[in-house]
Copies of this chain bind each other. A is one copy, B any other.
Amino acid sequence: MNLRIGLAQINTTVGDIEGNLKKIRASIYSAKEQKVSLLVFPELTISGYPPEDLLLKPSFISSCSNAVSSLANESDNISLLVGAPISSGGKLYNSAVFISENKIREMYFKRELPNYGVFDEKRYFTQGTSPLIIDINGSRFAVTICEDIWIPFGDVEKDLASASPCAVFNLSASPFYSGKLSERTERISRFARNVKSTVCYVNITGGQDELVFDGGSMVVAPTGEIISSANRFEEELLVAGIELAIENSNPAINEKITVVKADINCDESSKPVVTKKIINDDGLESIYKALTCCTGDYIRKNCFETALIGLSGGIDSALTACIAVEAIGNENVTGVSMPSRFNSSETKCDAKILAENLGIKFLEIPIEQIFMTYLSELKEPFGEGDSGLAVENLQARIRGNILMALSNKFNSIVLTTGNKSEIAMGYCTLYGDTAGGFGVLKDLYKEMVYKLSNFVNEKFGKEIIPKSIIQRAPSAELRDGQKDEDSLPPYPVLDPILKLYIEDNCPIERIAFLLNHDVEFVRKISKTVDRNEYKRRQAPPGAKITPRAFGKDHRMPMTNKFGN
């Protein structure tokens, strides 16, 4: 006997209760067509994830609750597990609602609330205490939410191991970073082995501000082996058959466990559905897809249709343009070249070639006259003495102004092009090259920018990003003969230091030891990173693709005198 289940990997939008309901209903429709008996949705399906401080609004909670109730009518011939924030007894719970036979039958409240990294769940939710078992024809199915199954030897694992369910459903909203999939798979497999049951894991997909959710829903056997999985970064309904375990040898159930008996159709004849497709962590490809997905969703979900990118002829803006084209189509992207006296003819030319290669619109607006006029108006207040940095930043800010003027005029979002190495070091101009709505490469170290640029050319089998852009020494071109290396260590030296410092909170002595550098050299870099926190606070959001991005998971004080 098999229970035919569906895992509805959908792309929800935060706050879009009506829109999310529509997607839920569409999934129910498809699932019914595929004879699914129990359809499982991801964590906080109704509200989108993470709803952040929307959860503090009573009207939001009641709207979510009403939406859940409206689904009761949809549960004829199909049972549902839907995620929603549910208020009960004056407390708010991150909940899985079990809907069957046209009724809300039971609620499960998430027991492990993550409150680290990008997560703030203890800000909003109370922990649940009771496991939930759905009893279908004597077979037990357990309900869990995301973090519940991430804690080795945790309470959830212990409770469920004792209840011997034949399958554990896990409603998730697990954000991507590079390498996350193997970590996630390992955790799920370990849980399946420890509880000795199949795990049916359903994740959301799509971008939400700085986070991107990679889907990759999966069914994992009690052996820990993945037996079926959905694609990443796109919606999918994954259907599987779970064999019931109806022996009468079930151990007695602990009284703290809630059990709900459900009358759900099971299939006498069919074998468990096993899909062959198994996802794996495909390195650059997954980063490329994550950036495309997050950028595209930020643009669309915020009601923009078109994007503007300042094309300098450098590698950052080139890669940004490629991703934008993949995300929203070349007909919706405009490259803007804004040359000054300091731009070489090579970079100007490369910007144009790139635009041609991508088939995007191309504007050239020189900044020289504007720059001269500023200098003339500032001559008196500036007086004598070196105005180097002020004058360099001024050029970047003129470009920011031009892009924002075009943005305001044409209702087109400006995509910024700064990479994580620059942003870490403050090697960028606030209100200049940081001006825009979304920072596509915000979480990519410069070395990753190179790797991904080569990947793009390989993927498309042609030189979309001109080789000369990839090979030229990086320069901001804000003064004559300027090179990044005048101000920063070479990126192959800098990037590993930044990674250890930012992502691993590694002490500088340890970084110096691990990478064989002088401690003072590392300290100079770490202090530069700290000192520039104020710039990052005013930077636009961007897709998180590393374990720790500058954003919600990097809450550093601006006023901070710690020097190690």
Contacts and interface: CB of A to CB of B under 8 A. Distances in A.
A368 to B, nearest CB: 9
A363 B381 contact: yes
A116 interface: yes
Interface string A547-564: 000000011111111111
Given A365-B378, A560-B14, A56 B397 contact: no
A326 to B, nearest CB: 20
A408 B431 CA distance: 13
Nearest to A64: B562
A15 B562 contact: yes
Q: Which of A15, A52, A366, A509 has the most CB of B within 10 A?
A: A15
A270 to B, nearest CB: 40
A17 B562 CA distance: 7
Interface string A69-110: 000000000000000000000000000000000000000000
Nearest to A378: B405
Contacts of A369: 373, 376-377
A102 to B, nearest CB: 27
A146 to B, nearest CB: 17
B374 A401 contact: yes
Interface size class of chain A, counting residues whose CB lies under 8 Å from the partner chain? 35 or more
A505 B401 contact: no
A143 interface: no
Contact of A120 (B58, B120, B559, B564): B120
Contacts of A363: 381
Contact of A382 (B387, B409, B534): B409
Interface in A509-564: 509, 534, 537-541, 554-564
Contacts of A115: 115, 122-123
Q: Which of A63, A391, A561 has the most CB of B within 10 A?
A: A561
Contacts of A346: none
A37 B376 CA distance: 66
A534 B437 contact: yes
Q: Which of A122, A373, A400, A562 has the most CB of B within 10 A?
A: A562
Given A54-B557, A562-B15, A409 B387 contact: yes
A5 interface: no
A180 interface: no
Given A52-B557, A397-B397, 14 more contacts: A15-B561, A51-B557, A53-B555, A54-B562, A56-B505, A57-B505, A57-B562, A59-B564, A120-B555, A123-B555, A374-B401, A381-B409, A389-B408, A404-B431
Q: Which of A116, A397, A563 has the most CB of B within 10 A?
A: A397
Contact of A557 (B209, B401, B559): B209
**Copies of this chain:** 2
By Cβ-Cβ distance, the 5 closest A-B pairs, closest first, are: A15-B562, A16-B561, A390-B408, A59-B507, A390-B409
A266 to B, nearest CB: 38
19 contacts: A15-B560, A15-B563, A16-B561, A51-B557, A53-B555, A54-B562, A57-B564, A60-B562, A120-B123, A207-B559, A370-B373, A370-B374, A373-B373, A374-B401, A378-B405, A390-B406, A437-B534, A534-B540, A538-B539
A432 B534 CA distance: 17
A355 to B, nearest CB: 15
A153 to B, nearest CB: 15
Given A19-B561, A381-B363, A430-B404, A54 B374 contact: no
A128 to B, nearest CB: 17
A405 B376 contact: no
Interface string A271-312: 000000000000000000000000001100110000000000
B374 A405 contact: yes
A208 interface: yes
A405 B400 contact: no
A31 interface: no
A238 interface: no
A393 interface: yes
A313 interface: no
A398 interface: yes
Nearest to A363: B381
Interface string A403-416: 01110110000000
A453 interface: no
A418 to B, nearest CB: 13
A6 interface: no
A402 interface: yes
